Amino acid sequence: MPTPSMEDYIEQIYILIEEKGYARVSDIAEALSVHPSSVTKMVQKLDKDQYLIYEKYRGLVLTTKGKKIGKRLVYRHDLLEQFMRLIGVEEELIYNDVEGIEHHLSWNAIDRIGDLVQFFEEDESRVEMLRSIQKSNEENGDS
């Protein structure tokens, strides 16, 4: 199992390759706000653990294992953003909240959150019911 930090790298590398076709050390460093030397170190570890293949002057490619995990990590991040939006968390808080919790939930919890998102998406009136509860809680002084 990758550590939380490894997960952040694999997730970001997967996104960069999806969007641009490649992931350079400098792009990864910028996306994660870390020093390029930290990226090089982590990329070497990810290579050793067979998530990717890194060649200093030719860039890096995800292995089948790296791609599979990358895809799940991006799905997890997107699902949690959807969940936060659905439960009414303020938009400007969502990204950081998801970054803060995504590594600490079991895949079982992720799947159940997926069910809940589906439950609300299948019937817009369910979302409206939730909003009316939130509205009355706000009126009663809940933050």
In the annotated binding site for Mn(2+), the residues are: 8, 11, 77, 99, 102-103
46 backbone φψ class: left, alpha, beta (φ>0; ψ -120 to 50): alpha
77 binds Mn ion (CB under 5 A): yes
Least distance from Mn ion to the Cβ atom of residue 126, Å: 27
Interstrand relation of 59-62 and 52-55 (parallel, antiparallel or unpaired): antiparallel
**Stretch of 40-48, 58-66, 71-79, 108-116 lying at the interface with Mn ion (CB under 5 A):** 71-79
If you search the block for the tokens 């600490």, which residue do you land on? Answer: 104
76 binds Mn ion (CB under 5 A): no
Binding-site size for Mn ion (CB under 5 A) equals 1
Q: Which two tokens stand for residue 18?
A: 């999806």
**Closest residue to Mn ion using C-beta atoms:** 77
Cα separation, 53 vs 12, in Å, equals 15
- Is 5 or 130 the residue whose CB approaches Mn ion more closely? 5
Is the separation of the CB atoms in 57 and 40 below 8 Å?
no
67 binds Mn ion (CB under 5 A): no
Applying CB under 5 A, the residues found at the interface with Mn ion are 77
